[in-house]
Amino acid sequence: MKHRNRVARSILAIACSLSLGTCTLSALAETKVRVGITVTTDIASAALFNAIKKGSFKKEGIDIEVKPFIQSNQKYDTFKGGGIDMDINMSAVTSAQLQSAGVPFFIVKAMTPADIWAVVARRDSPLTSPEEFKGKRFGVVSLSGTNYGVTHMAFKVSGVDLMRDVKVSTLPPAALVTALERGEVDGATLYEPYLTEALKSGRVKELFRPGFYYYKAYKEPFIALVMGVRKDFYEANRPVIAKILAILDKEAKDLDTNLPAAAQAFVEGLPELKLKPSEAVELLKPYANNYIEEPNDPAFLKKAQNFYDRLYEIKQIPRPVKVSEFWVKP
């Protein structure tokens, strides 16, 4: 009997040792992914933080390290330098500029259309449409990126050349609102969370969504944000990238039904936004269903190619780009 007990204890000890060894090996096998994001209220970021809080990545052996950036240009410099592996809210306009500059990376998914951008004016403004801005003063955040690109396209399809027919100036989002209130500009393009904050003040009003003009003209979305992955990391971790994308896809598609929990995870993960969960819900709710579900299949890649061709026409990218060279389906 004593011999049996000793044998049983030995077997149990071996089993425990093997179990601990398995756990250790599992931990060692976990893949670390440095994910860069621009601090803003977008669907992809909300999906990311909700999945992190739920442990969805950990279950797949993936350790997500989030690196937030207040300024997107700093994020892109870090991406080019190899300081982050993945960018889940990369500007689609910037992606073409990076491709033109020879940065080695892949786009694995289009994330959201340009629905969070809106053209606003002072509350007492008589202006209502792009055509009425000829000869007027207009403010944008910069002369590149989605803010400018979607605005230029909305004016273009309305018969207005933004740079020739309109007096354009660049200012940070908060300064644009001040310039509107002072009458220094007649209109401006804002995005979330600055848009909602400005509208709440009651001193400005929304005129139109430039992305709507683009879609109405071309029946295709103005692609705002994409998921970019450095080429070296993608080639070494393709199955991991596929898992991350599958998790983000599911979270983004279900966001409207999980909004309170996602908003809570979002504000906890991004304290830089200085939002309450209820405020995050308010900001995210109008866009919760506006997620590009199409994968990088041939039909969608054609839309992406058309998008880049139009960007080249308005001189947002220095040379034509081919989506076949840097858009892939994991």
Is the separation of the CB atoms in 70 and 58 below 8 Å? Answer: no
Count CB neighbours of 218 within 10 A. 15
Render 225-279 in DSSP notation, one character per residue. Answer: EEEEEEHHHHHH-HHHHHHHHHHHHHHHHTGGGSHHHHHHHHHHH-GGG---HHH
d(CA 128, CA 126): 7
In the structure, what pLDDT confidence band is assigned to residue 193 with cuts at 50, 70 and 90?
confident
pLDDT digits (tens, 9 = 90+) for 11-48: 444 444 444 444 433 445 789 999 999 988 899 999 99
Phi, psi of 40, rounded to the nearest 5 degrees? -160, 170
d(CA 327, CA 122): 41
Domains of the chain: 28-113+222-325 (3.40.190.10), 117-218 (3.40.190.10)
Residue 105 exposure: Cα atoms within 13 Å on the Cβ side: 30
pLDDT digits (tens, 9 = 90+) for 156-180: 999 999 999 999 999 998 899 999 9
Give every strand in the sheet of 105-113, ordered side by side: 62-69, 31-38, 86-91, 223-230, 105-113
pLDDT digits (tens, 9 = 90+) for 103-118: 999 999 999 999 989 9
d(CA 150, CA 167): 17
pLDDT digits (tens, 9 = 90+) for 258-289: 999 999 999 999 998 889 999 999 999 988 88
pLDDT at 17: 42
Closest to 252 (Cα-Cα) out of 299, 287, 298: 287
Cα separations (Å) of 299 from 103, 109, 302, 305? 25, 13, 5, 10
pLDDT at 12: 40
pLDDT at 11: 42
d(CA 117, CA 150): 8
